[in-house]
Amino acid sequence: MDNFHFYTKLDQTILLGVSPEPPNDFAYWVSQVLGDDALGEQLWSVDIVEFQSIAGLREKFVAILKRHLASTKRHIDCPDGEEFYFMASRTFVFPTTYVAQNLAEFAEMLGKVSINSLYYHMFDAKLRLEHGGNDFSRWFHGLGKTQLANETRSLDPYSHTLEGLRQRIVTLVKKYDSH
């Protein structure tokens, strides 16, 4: 599966739990390399959590760029060697040995899986499936745990480190687990 990551990325600081803030490489480049702080601020202010698809996020950035270009006569050339490179990624998904058949097992297994699995099921799922939720909330809903599904779906994964998010989900699951 090809995923086009447009202007944003989650870097090692998030994966390692150092920062819950999602970097926005394009906004950084516009501000720091081009020196256009006003446009950079507009790009930084985009709440990527509200988007359910890469296409929607792309449209938002394009609209900001068009509006900015139409409102300014200032032309900025990028310094040689400082060009912005758009990236594409390919996601590889491998099954793990961790399987849960109920909430108790889910809480136990979530504590054991790598943060890469957590990332895939919480971050990637929202844009991959374009439904605005995550794999966990869909599974909880299938178990008939609608309130747990709704609470998990409403979590803002960008406001937590991955380890913090893992703990928050485990806490929620234990709250609703009635064996």
135 domain-assigned: yes
Q: In percent, how much of the chain has pLDDT > 90?
A: 60
Of 54, 89, 124, the residue at which a domain comes to its end is 89
Tokens of 125: 């799922």
Three-class SS state of 149 = helix
pLDDT digits (tens, 9 = 90+) for 95-135: 999 999 999 999 999 999 999 999 999 988 877 777 768 99
Same domain, 85 and 12: yes
Residue 151 has phi, psi (to 5 degrees) of -65, -40
Residue 96 within a domain = no
Is there a contact between 136 and 152 (Cβ–Cβ < 8 Å)?
Answer: yes
**How much is the pLDDT for 74?**
83
Mean pLDDT of the chain: 85
Could you tell me the pTM of the whole model? Answer: 0.67
Q: Which of 74-78, 130-134, 145-149 comes out lowest in average pLDDT? A: 130-134
Number of structural domains (the chain) is 2
Q: Which long-range contacts (CB under 8 A, 24 or more apart) does 139-148 make?
A: 139/106, 140/176, 143/102, 143/103, 145/103, 145/176, 147/176, 148/103, 148/172, 148/173, 148/175, 148/176
Structural contact between residues 84 and 144, judged by C-beta atoms closer than 8 angstroms: no
Strand segments (E) across the chain = 2-3, 89-90
Q: Are residues 29 and 74 in the same domain?
A: yes
Of 66, 89, 112, the residue at which a domain comes to its end is: 89
Confirm whether 98 is domain-assigned. Answer: no
More confidently predicted of 55 and 144: 144
Asked if 65 and 108 sit in the same domain, the reply is no
Token code pair at residue 63: 């609209």
Q: How confident is the model at residue 179 (pLDDT cuts 50, 70, 90)?
A: low
